[in-house]
Chain A
Amino acid sequence: MAATNRLWLLAVTLLLAGKAEAAVLPQDRADAMYHSYSGDGVSIDGPSILLRKKAGNNWSFSANYYVDAISGASIDVRATASPYKEERTETTVGVDYVQDKTLLNLSYTNSSENDFEANSFHVGISQDFFGDLTTLSLSYSRGEDEVGKTGDASFAEQAQRQKFGFGLTQVMTKNLIVGVNAENVADEGYLNNPYRSIRYLDPDSQKGFSFTTEVYPNTRVSNAFSVNANYYLPYRASIYGDMRYYSDTWGIEAFNAKLGYIHTFGAHWIVDVHLRHYQQDKADFYQDLFRRAQEFNFMARDKELSTYAGVSAGAAVSYEWQFGQDKLVQKSSVNLEYDFLNFDYDDFRDVTDDAPVGEEALFGFSAHVVRLYVSVWY
Protein backbone atom coordinates (compact mmCIF):
# COMPACT_ATOMS: atom_id res chain seq x y z
CA MET A 1 0.00 0.00 0.00
CA ALA A 2 2.77 2.38 0.97
CA ALA A 3 4.53 1.55 -2.26
CA THR A 4 1.29 2.12 -4.19
CA ASN A 5 0.77 5.47 -2.47
CA ARG A 6 4.32 6.48 -3.11
CA LEU A 7 3.93 5.67 -6.78
CA TRP A 8 0.67 7.59 -6.92
CA LEU A 9 2.15 10.52 -5.06
CA LEU A 10 5.19 10.44 -7.27
CA ALA A 11 2.91 10.51 -10.30
CA VAL A 12 0.93 13.46 -8.91
CA THR A 13 4.12 15.25 -7.90
CA LEU A 14 5.57 14.74 -11.34
CA LEU A 15 2.37 16.01 -12.92
CA LEU A 16 2.28 19.16 -10.80
CA ALA A 17 5.96 19.87 -10.55
CA GLY A 18 7.49 23.03 -11.88
CA LYS A 19 6.48 25.34 -14.70
CA ALA A 20 8.48 24.79 -17.82
CA GLU A 21 8.67 25.44 -21.50
CA ALA A 22 6.12 24.20 -23.99
CA ALA A 23 6.22 20.98 -26.00
CA VAL A 24 7.82 21.34 -29.40
CA LEU A 25 6.44 20.61 -32.87
CA PRO A 26 8.56 18.45 -35.18
CA GLN A 27 10.93 20.47 -37.35
CA ASP A 28 10.07 21.41 -40.93
CA ARG A 29 11.94 19.03 -43.17
CA ALA A 30 11.91 17.08 -46.43
CA ASP A 31 13.46 13.66 -46.94
CA ALA A 32 13.90 11.70 -50.16
CA MET A 33 15.10 8.13 -49.74
CA TYR A 34 15.91 5.16 -51.93
CA HIS A 35 15.67 1.85 -50.03
CA SER A 36 16.75 -1.62 -51.02
CA TYR A 37 16.39 -5.06 -49.44
CA SER A 38 17.86 -8.20 -50.98
CA GLY A 39 17.92 -11.62 -49.39
CA ASP A 40 16.44 -15.13 -49.63
CA GLY A 41 15.96 -14.69 -53.40
CA VAL A 42 13.82 -11.57 -52.98
CA SER A 43 14.58 -7.98 -53.96
CA ILE A 44 12.49 -5.10 -52.63
CA ASP A 45 13.31 -1.52 -53.41
CA GLY A 46 11.69 1.84 -54.02
CA PRO A 47 11.45 5.45 -52.89
CA SER A 48 10.14 7.10 -49.74
CA ILE A 49 9.38 10.82 -49.67
CA LEU A 50 8.52 12.75 -46.50
CA LEU A 51 7.42 16.39 -46.32
CA ARG A 52 6.71 18.21 -43.09
CA LYS A 53 5.67 21.87 -42.70
CA LYS A 54 4.44 24.00 -39.83
CA ALA A 55 1.47 26.33 -40.13
CA GLY A 56 1.53 29.06 -37.51
CA ASN A 57 2.83 28.26 -34.05
CA ASN A 58 0.54 25.34 -33.26
CA TRP A 59 0.15 23.15 -36.32
CA SER A 60 2.44 20.92 -38.34
CA PHE A 61 1.37 18.89 -41.37
CA SER A 62 3.16 15.90 -42.86
CA ALA A 63 2.86 13.59 -45.86
CA ASN A 64 4.78 10.43 -46.69
CA TYR A 65 4.74 8.48 -49.95
CA TYR A 66 6.40 5.08 -49.93
CA VAL A 67 6.78 2.29 -52.51
CA ASP A 68 7.93 -1.34 -52.22
CA ALA A 69 8.67 -2.89 -55.62
CA ILE A 70 8.98 -6.63 -54.95
CA SER A 71 10.47 -9.26 -57.26
CA GLY A 72 11.92 -12.75 -56.91
CA ALA A 73 10.98 -15.85 -54.97
CA SER A 74 11.49 -16.53 -51.26
CA ILE A 75 11.91 -20.06 -49.92
CA ASP A 76 8.10 -20.37 -49.53
CA VAL A 77 7.54 -19.41 -53.15
CA ARG A 78 10.43 -21.56 -54.42
CA ALA A 79 8.80 -24.56 -52.71
CA THR A 80 5.28 -24.10 -54.01
CA ALA A 81 5.00 -21.50 -56.81
CA SER A 82 6.78 -19.37 -59.40
CA PRO A 83 8.73 -16.13 -58.99
CA TYR A 84 6.52 -13.05 -59.07
CA LYS A 85 6.54 -9.27 -59.15
CA GLU A 86 4.29 -6.87 -57.30
CA GLU A 87 4.18 -3.36 -55.91
CA ARG A 88 2.96 -1.93 -52.63
CA THR A 89 2.23 1.76 -52.28
CA GLU A 90 1.80 3.41 -48.90
CA THR A 91 0.57 6.94 -48.33
CA THR A 92 0.39 8.66 -44.94
CA VAL A 93 -0.92 12.11 -44.11
CA GLY A 94 -0.70 13.50 -40.61
CA VAL A 95 -1.18 16.57 -38.49
CA ASP A 96 0.41 17.58 -35.21
CA TYR A 97 -1.06 20.17 -32.88
CA VAL A 98 0.78 21.64 -29.93
CA GLN A 99 -0.75 23.52 -27.04
CA ASP A 100 1.52 24.48 -24.16
CA LYS A 101 3.00 21.14 -23.02
CA THR A 102 0.65 18.89 -24.95
CA LEU A 103 1.31 17.50 -28.40
CA LEU A 104 -1.53 15.84 -30.32
CA ASN A 105 -0.94 13.75 -33.42
CA LEU A 106 -3.44 12.38 -35.91
CA SER A 107 -2.54 10.42 -39.03
CA TYR A 108 -4.14 8.29 -41.70
CA THR A 109 -2.35 5.60 -43.75
CA ASN A 110 -3.39 3.70 -46.84
CA SER A 111 -1.41 0.71 -48.07
CA SER A 112 -2.34 -0.71 -51.44
CA GLU A 113 -1.35 -3.82 -53.40
CA ASN A 114 -3.13 -5.63 -56.20
CA ASP A 115 -4.41 -8.24 -53.71
CA PHE A 116 -4.33 -6.34 -50.39
CA GLU A 117 -5.73 -3.04 -49.16
CA ALA A 118 -5.16 -1.62 -45.68
CA ASN A 119 -6.45 1.60 -44.15
CA SER A 120 -5.58 2.78 -40.67
CA PHE A 121 -5.73 5.86 -38.50
CA HIS A 122 -3.58 6.75 -35.54
CA VAL A 123 -4.12 9.21 -32.72
CA GLY A 124 -1.47 10.05 -30.17
CA ILE A 125 -1.06 12.47 -27.31
CA SER A 126 2.12 13.30 -25.46
CA GLN A 127 2.50 15.50 -22.43
CA ASP A 128 5.68 17.05 -21.09
CA PHE A 129 5.86 17.72 -17.38
CA PHE A 130 8.24 17.89 -14.41
CA GLY A 131 10.19 20.74 -15.96
CA ASP A 132 10.07 18.96 -19.34
CA LEU A 133 12.19 16.14 -17.95
CA THR A 134 9.34 13.67 -18.37
CA THR A 135 7.20 12.91 -21.41
CA LEU A 136 4.17 10.67 -21.20
CA SER A 137 2.74 9.36 -24.49
CA LEU A 138 -0.46 7.48 -25.20
CA SER A 139 -1.56 6.26 -28.62
CA TYR A 140 -4.34 4.37 -30.31
CA SER A 141 -4.42 2.97 -33.85
CA ARG A 142 -7.13 1.15 -35.71
CA GLY A 143 -6.84 -0.51 -39.09
CA GLU A 144 -8.98 -2.43 -41.54
CA ASP A 145 -7.47 -4.90 -44.03
CA GLU A 146 -9.10 -6.26 -47.17
CA VAL A 147 -7.36 -9.46 -48.27
CA GLY A 148 -7.67 -10.77 -51.83
CA LYS A 149 -5.98 -13.53 -53.79
CA THR A 150 -4.55 -13.25 -57.28
CA GLY A 151 -6.27 -15.67 -59.65
CA ASP A 152 -9.29 -16.12 -57.38
CA ALA A 153 -11.74 -13.28 -57.88
CA SER A 154 -14.20 -14.77 -55.38
CA PHE A 155 -11.64 -14.66 -52.53
CA ALA A 156 -12.36 -11.67 -50.26
CA GLU A 157 -11.52 -11.63 -46.55
CA GLN A 158 -11.19 -8.91 -43.92
CA ALA A 159 -9.25 -8.22 -40.76
CA GLN A 160 -9.34 -5.49 -38.10
CA ARG A 161 -6.35 -4.36 -36.07
CA GLN A 162 -6.14 -2.22 -32.93
CA LYS A 163 -3.10 -0.93 -31.07
CA PHE A 164 -2.82 0.75 -27.68
CA GLY A 165 0.54 2.29 -26.87
CA PHE A 166 2.06 3.79 -23.73
CA GLY A 167 5.43 5.48 -23.47
CA LEU A 168 7.35 7.34 -20.79
CA THR A 169 10.61 9.15 -21.45
CA GLN A 170 12.65 10.48 -18.55
CA VAL A 171 15.68 12.74 -18.58
CA MET A 172 17.85 11.14 -15.90
CA THR A 173 20.88 13.43 -16.08
CA LYS A 174 22.14 16.09 -18.46
CA ASN A 175 23.68 13.23 -20.45
CA LEU A 176 21.17 10.40 -20.11
CA ILE A 177 17.63 9.82 -21.39
CA VAL A 178 15.74 6.63 -20.55
CA GLY A 179 12.42 5.48 -21.99
CA VAL A 180 9.94 2.68 -21.38
CA ASN A 181 7.24 1.61 -23.80
CA ALA A 182 4.37 -0.86 -23.77
CA GLU A 183 2.07 -1.77 -26.63
CA ASN A 184 -0.94 -4.03 -26.89
CA VAL A 185 -2.00 -5.14 -30.38
CA ALA A 186 -5.25 -7.00 -31.07
CA ASP A 187 -6.07 -8.49 -34.48
CA GLU A 188 -9.31 -10.10 -35.54
CA GLY A 189 -10.40 -11.61 -38.83
CA TYR A 190 -8.52 -13.36 -41.61
CA LEU A 191 -4.91 -13.34 -40.38
CA ASN A 192 -3.43 -15.92 -42.80
CA ASN A 193 -1.34 -15.24 -45.82
CA PRO A 194 -3.60 -16.83 -48.48
CA TYR A 195 -0.59 -18.00 -50.53
CA ARG A 196 1.31 -19.72 -47.74
CA SER A 197 1.00 -23.45 -47.13
CA ILE A 198 1.72 -26.10 -44.54
CA ARG A 199 3.63 -29.24 -45.41
CA TYR A 200 2.26 -32.67 -44.53
CA LEU A 201 3.34 -36.28 -45.06
CA ASP A 202 1.86 -37.72 -48.26
CA PRO A 203 2.98 -41.22 -49.32
CA ASP A 204 1.25 -40.70 -52.69
CA SER A 205 3.54 -37.77 -53.53
CA GLN A 206 6.85 -38.42 -55.25
CA LYS A 207 8.68 -36.28 -52.68
CA GLY A 208 6.82 -37.87 -49.76
CA PHE A 209 5.03 -34.64 -48.79
CA SER A 210 2.44 -32.23 -50.14
CA PHE A 211 1.23 -28.71 -49.35
CA THR A 212 -2.13 -27.32 -48.35
CA THR A 213 -3.34 -23.90 -47.19
CA GLU A 214 -2.49 -22.78 -43.64
CA VAL A 215 -5.26 -22.35 -41.06
CA TYR A 216 -4.76 -19.64 -38.41
CA PRO A 217 -6.89 -18.60 -35.44
CA ASN A 218 -8.93 -15.50 -36.30
CA THR A 219 -7.76 -13.54 -33.25
CA ARG A 220 -4.32 -12.58 -32.03
CA VAL A 221 -3.48 -10.40 -29.04
CA SER A 222 0.08 -9.40 -28.24
CA ASN A 223 1.89 -7.40 -25.58
CA ALA A 224 5.32 -5.89 -25.95
CA PHE A 225 7.42 -4.05 -23.35
CA SER A 226 10.64 -2.22 -24.07
CA VAL A 227 13.24 -0.01 -22.43
CA ASN A 228 15.71 2.24 -24.20
CA ALA A 229 18.48 4.61 -23.24
CA ASN A 230 20.70 7.22 -24.90
CA TYR A 231 23.86 8.42 -23.18
CA TYR A 232 26.00 11.39 -24.27
CA LEU A 233 29.71 10.71 -23.90
CA PRO A 234 32.31 13.23 -22.65
CA TYR A 235 33.06 14.14 -26.27
CA ARG A 236 30.45 14.65 -29.05
CA ALA A 237 29.37 11.04 -29.32
CA SER A 238 26.66 8.86 -27.81
CA ILE A 239 25.84 5.26 -27.05
CA TYR A 240 22.31 3.93 -27.20
CA GLY A 241 20.52 0.68 -26.63
CA ASP A 242 17.15 -0.92 -26.31
CA MET A 243 15.61 -4.20 -25.19
CA ARG A 244 12.16 -5.59 -25.86
CA TYR A 245 10.16 -8.53 -24.52
CA TYR A 246 7.19 -9.78 -26.53
CA SER A 247 4.49 -12.44 -26.07
CA ASP A 248 1.18 -13.18 -27.75
CA THR A 249 -1.85 -15.47 -27.58
CA TRP A 250 -0.43 -17.62 -30.39
CA GLY A 251 2.33 -18.71 -28.02
CA ILE A 252 5.13 -16.69 -29.56
CA GLU A 253 7.62 -15.30 -27.06
CA ALA A 254 10.40 -13.08 -28.32
CA PHE A 255 13.26 -10.94 -27.07
CA ASN A 256 15.51 -8.50 -28.87
CA ALA A 257 18.30 -6.13 -27.87
CA LYS A 258 20.25 -3.48 -29.73
CA LEU A 259 23.40 -1.54 -28.93
CA GLY A 260 24.73 1.36 -30.97
CA TYR A 261 27.45 3.98 -30.96
CA ILE A 262 27.33 7.36 -32.71
CA HIS A 263 30.57 9.23 -33.36
CA THR A 264 31.06 12.63 -34.92
CA PHE A 265 34.02 13.88 -36.93
CA GLY A 266 34.23 17.66 -36.95
CA ALA A 267 31.00 19.57 -37.64
CA HIS A 268 29.95 17.59 -40.70
CA TRP A 269 30.32 13.85 -40.27
CA ILE A 270 28.15 11.56 -38.14
CA VAL A 271 28.89 7.83 -38.06
CA ASP A 272 26.61 5.26 -36.41
CA VAL A 273 27.50 1.59 -35.86
CA HIS A 274 25.07 -0.84 -34.27
CA LEU A 275 24.45 -4.48 -33.46
CA ARG A 276 21.06 -6.12 -32.89
CA HIS A 277 20.02 -9.58 -31.70
CA TYR A 278 16.58 -11.18 -32.00
CA GLN A 279 15.20 -14.53 -30.90
CA GLN A 280 11.76 -16.07 -30.64
CA ASP A 281 9.97 -19.29 -29.71
CA LYS A 282 7.41 -20.68 -32.13
CA ALA A 283 3.65 -20.33 -32.22
CA ASP A 284 1.73 -23.22 -30.60
CA PHE A 285 0.29 -24.32 -33.95
CA TYR A 286 3.52 -24.09 -35.97
CA GLN A 287 5.21 -27.21 -37.35
CA ASP A 288 7.62 -27.75 -40.19
CA LEU A 289 5.96 -31.04 -41.13
CA PHE A 290 2.47 -32.21 -40.19
CA ARG A 291 1.45 -35.87 -40.21
CA ARG A 292 -1.64 -35.28 -42.34
CA ALA A 293 -3.50 -32.43 -44.05
CA GLN A 294 -6.23 -31.96 -41.42
CA GLU A 295 -4.17 -32.93 -38.37
CA PHE A 296 -5.14 -29.94 -36.20
CA ASN A 297 -7.69 -27.12 -36.19
CA PHE A 298 -4.91 -24.55 -36.60
CA MET A 299 -1.76 -25.20 -38.60
CA ALA A 300 1.01 -22.91 -39.76
CA ARG A 301 4.35 -23.24 -41.52
CA ASP A 302 5.21 -19.55 -41.83
CA LYS A 303 8.89 -19.36 -40.87
CA GLU A 304 8.18 -16.07 -39.05
CA LEU A 305 6.10 -18.18 -36.61
CA SER A 306 8.88 -20.75 -36.01
CA THR A 307 11.68 -20.85 -33.44
CA TYR A 308 14.68 -18.89 -34.71
CA ALA A 309 17.29 -16.26 -33.99
CA GLY A 310 18.59 -13.36 -36.00
CA VAL A 311 21.50 -10.99 -35.76
CA SER A 312 22.06 -7.77 -37.65
CA ALA A 313 25.01 -5.42 -37.83
CA GLY A 314 25.02 -2.07 -39.54
CA ALA A 315 26.64 1.27 -40.11
CA ALA A 316 25.35 4.67 -41.16
CA VAL A 317 27.26 7.69 -42.40
CA SER A 318 25.82 11.21 -42.60
CA TYR A 319 27.37 14.39 -43.96
CA GLU A 320 25.67 17.59 -42.77
CA TRP A 321 25.72 21.18 -43.94
CA GLN A 322 24.59 23.99 -41.61
CA PHE A 323 23.43 27.15 -43.37
CA GLY A 324 22.02 29.13 -40.42
CA GLN A 325 18.60 29.63 -38.81
CA ASP A 326 17.83 32.75 -40.88
CA LYS A 327 18.37 31.04 -44.23
CA LEU A 328 15.66 29.53 -46.41
CA VAL A 329 17.37 26.14 -46.08
CA GLN A 330 18.79 25.91 -42.57
CA LYS A 331 20.46 22.52 -42.78
CA SER A 332 20.82 19.58 -45.12
CA SER A 333 22.38 16.14 -45.03
CA VAL A 334 23.27 13.18 -47.24
CA ASN A 335 23.00 9.79 -45.58
CA LEU A 336 23.98 6.23 -46.41
CA GLU A 337 22.98 3.34 -44.17
CA TYR A 338 23.74 -0.36 -44.55
CA ASP A 339 22.67 -3.38 -42.47
CA PHE A 340 23.60 -7.02 -42.78
CA LEU A 341 20.90 -9.40 -41.47
CA ASN A 342 21.25 -13.10 -40.77
CA PHE A 343 18.51 -15.49 -39.64
CA ASP A 344 18.94 -19.14 -38.60
CA TYR A 345 15.85 -21.28 -38.10
CA ASP A 346 15.67 -24.10 -35.52
CA ASP A 347 12.63 -25.93 -36.91
CA PHE A 348 12.07 -24.70 -40.46
CA ARG A 349 13.65 -26.92 -43.08
CA ASP A 350 14.73 -26.17 -46.63
CA VAL A 351 12.35 -28.36 -48.66
CA THR A 352 14.38 -27.73 -51.81
CA ASP A 353 17.18 -29.76 -50.19
CA ASP A 354 17.49 -33.27 -51.62
CA ALA A 355 17.14 -35.29 -48.43
CA PRO A 356 14.64 -37.71 -46.82
CA VAL A 357 11.39 -36.07 -45.64
CA GLY A 358 11.87 -34.26 -42.35
CA GLU A 359 15.65 -34.52 -42.53
CA GLU A 360 16.32 -31.66 -44.94
CA ALA A 361 18.87 -29.04 -43.89
CA LEU A 362 17.60 -26.37 -41.52
CA PHE A 363 16.94 -23.10 -43.34
CA GLY A 364 18.83 -19.87 -42.89
CA PHE A 365 19.47 -16.78 -44.97
CA SER A 366 21.23 -13.44 -45.06
CA ALA A 367 19.99 -10.10 -46.35
CA HIS A 368 21.47 -6.75 -47.30
CA VAL A 369 19.53 -3.60 -46.44
CA VAL A 370 20.49 -0.19 -47.84
CA ARG A 371 19.03 3.29 -47.27
CA LEU A 372 20.33 6.27 -49.24
CA TYR A 373 18.62 9.58 -48.56
CA VAL A 374 18.85 13.33 -48.60
CA SER A 375 17.32 15.49 -45.86
CA VAL A 376 16.65 19.21 -45.95
CA TRP A 377 15.50 21.36 -42.99
CA TYR A 378 13.80 24.68 -43.81
Chain B
Amino acid sequence: MDWLKAVKCVGAAVVLVLNTGCVSTLSDIKPWVKPYERSHLADPIMSQSRNPVASAYTKHVFEAREGARGADGGAGGGCGCN
Protein backbone atom coordinates (compact mmCIF):
# COMPACT_ATOMS: atom_id res chain seq x y z
CA MET B 1 0.00 0.00 0.00
CA ASP B 2 2.73 2.38 -0.96
CA TRP B 3 0.28 4.66 -2.71
CA LEU B 4 -1.79 5.07 0.51
CA LYS B 5 1.37 5.97 2.37
CA ALA B 6 2.27 8.46 -0.34
CA VAL B 7 -1.20 10.05 -0.20
CA LYS B 8 -0.97 10.34 3.59
CA CYS B 9 2.47 11.91 3.33
CA VAL B 10 1.31 14.42 0.75
CA GLY B 11 -1.82 15.18 2.80
CA ALA B 12 0.25 15.70 5.93
CA ALA B 13 2.63 17.93 4.02
CA VAL B 14 -0.28 20.01 2.71
CA VAL B 15 -1.78 20.42 6.18
CA LEU B 16 1.63 21.30 7.56
CA VAL B 17 2.29 23.87 4.86
CA LEU B 18 -1.17 25.40 5.18
CA ASN B 19 -0.89 25.63 8.96
CA THR B 20 2.63 26.89 9.16
CA GLY B 21 3.03 30.14 7.46
CA CYS B 22 1.47 29.68 4.06
CA VAL B 23 -2.01 30.94 5.01
CA SER B 24 -0.72 33.62 7.33
CA THR B 25 1.84 34.70 4.75
CA LEU B 26 -0.81 34.94 2.05
CA SER B 27 -3.28 36.76 4.25
CA ASP B 28 -0.50 39.17 5.19
CA ILE B 29 -0.07 40.16 1.54
CA LYS B 30 -1.42 43.66 1.13
CA PRO B 31 -1.44 45.86 -1.97
CA TRP B 32 2.12 47.12 -1.86
CA VAL B 33 1.79 50.09 -4.21
CA LYS B 34 -0.45 52.69 -2.60
CA PRO B 35 -2.78 54.89 -4.69
CA TYR B 36 -0.58 57.95 -4.03
CA GLU B 37 2.43 56.05 -5.41
CA ARG B 38 0.88 55.46 -8.84
CA SER B 39 1.69 58.71 -10.65
CA HIS B 40 4.27 56.98 -12.85
CA LEU B 41 1.88 54.13 -13.64
CA ALA B 42 -0.84 56.64 -14.59
CA ASP B 43 1.44 58.44 -17.05
CA PRO B 44 0.22 57.78 -20.63
CA ILE B 45 3.73 56.66 -21.61
CA MET B 46 3.09 53.56 -19.43
CA SER B 47 -0.15 52.67 -21.20
CA GLN B 48 -0.43 49.80 -23.68
CA SER B 49 -3.41 51.50 -25.30
CA ARG B 50 -2.15 55.08 -25.42
CA ASN B 51 -3.12 55.41 -29.09
CA PRO B 52 -5.98 52.97 -29.76
CA VAL B 53 -6.50 53.83 -33.43
CA ALA B 54 -2.82 53.46 -34.33
CA SER B 55 -2.38 50.28 -32.25
CA ALA B 56 -5.45 48.63 -33.83
CA TYR B 57 -4.09 49.46 -37.28
CA THR B 58 -0.60 48.14 -36.50
CA LYS B 59 -2.11 44.92 -35.14
CA HIS B 60 -4.10 44.57 -38.37
CA VAL B 61 -0.94 45.02 -40.50
CA PHE B 62 0.95 42.30 -38.65
CA GLU B 63 -2.05 39.94 -38.64
CA ALA B 64 -2.27 40.30 -42.42
CA ARG B 65 1.43 39.54 -42.94
CA GLU B 66 1.98 36.85 -40.32
CA GLY B 67 0.56 33.39 -39.68
CA ALA B 68 0.23 33.91 -35.91
CA ARG B 69 -2.77 35.57 -34.29
CA GLY B 70 -4.17 36.33 -30.86
CA ALA B 71 -2.94 37.26 -27.36
CA ASP B 72 -1.43 40.49 -28.63
CA GLY B 73 -3.51 42.92 -26.58
CA GLY B 74 -2.86 44.00 -23.02
CA ALA B 75 -5.44 43.30 -20.35
CA GLY B 76 -5.42 47.01 -19.58
CA GLY B 77 -5.89 48.79 -16.31
CA GLY B 78 -4.14 47.47 -13.28
CA CYS B 79 -3.73 50.77 -11.52
CA GLY B 80 -7.20 52.30 -11.60
CA CYS B 81 -5.76 55.01 -13.78
CA ASN B 82 -6.37 54.07 -17.40
Contact = CB atoms under 8 A, between A and B. Distances in A.
Interface of A: 1-2, 5-6, 9-10, 13, 17-18, 20-24, 26, 31, 33, 35, 37, 48, 50, 64, 66, 103, 126, 128, 130-137, 163, 165, 167-171, 173-175, 177, 179, 181-185, 222-226, 228, 230, 232, 236-238, 240, 242, 244, 246, 248, 252, 254, 256, 262, 264, 270, 278, 280, 283, 304-305, 310, 316, 318, 335, 337, 339, 341, 343, 367, 369, 371, 373, 375
Given A167-B75, A242-B72, A246-B68, 16 more contacts: A1-B10, A5-B14, A20-B31, A24-B82, A33-B54, A66-B57, A132-B78, A135-B75, A167-B76, A177-B78, A179-B48, A226-B71, A230-B46, A278-B68, A305-B67, A375-B51
A103 B68 CA distance: 28
15 contacts: A9-B23, A13-B29, A17-B31, A21-B80, A26-B82, A64-B53, A128-B80, A131-B34, A175-B41, A177-B78, A230-B47, A246-B70, A254-B66, A304-B66, A373-B51
Contact of B53 (A1, A10, A31, A238): A31
A-B complex: 5 closest residue pairs judged by Cβ atoms:
A131-B31, A167-B75, A183-B70, A224-B71, A132-B80
A62 to B, nearest CB: 9
B77 A169 contact: yes
Contacts of A22: 80
A66 B61 CA distance: 13
Contacts of B62: 278
A254 B54 contact: no
Contacts of B30: 17-18, 131
A37 B61 contact: yes
B70 A222 contact: yes
A183 B71 contact: yes
A230 B75 CA distance: 13
Most buried by A among B38, B41, B58, B67: B67
A185 B44 CA distance: 30
B69 interface: yes
A96 to B, nearest CB: 11
Nearest to A225: B71
Nearest to B47: A230
Most buried by B among A131, A175, A283: A131
A171 B67 contact: no
Most buried by A among B45, B78, B81: B78
A254 B68 contact: yes
A338 B47 CA distance: 19
A280 B74 CA distance: 22
Contacts of B65: 304, 310, 341, 343, 367
Contacts of A177: 41, 46, 78-79
Nearest to B38: A174
A252 B70 CA distance: 14
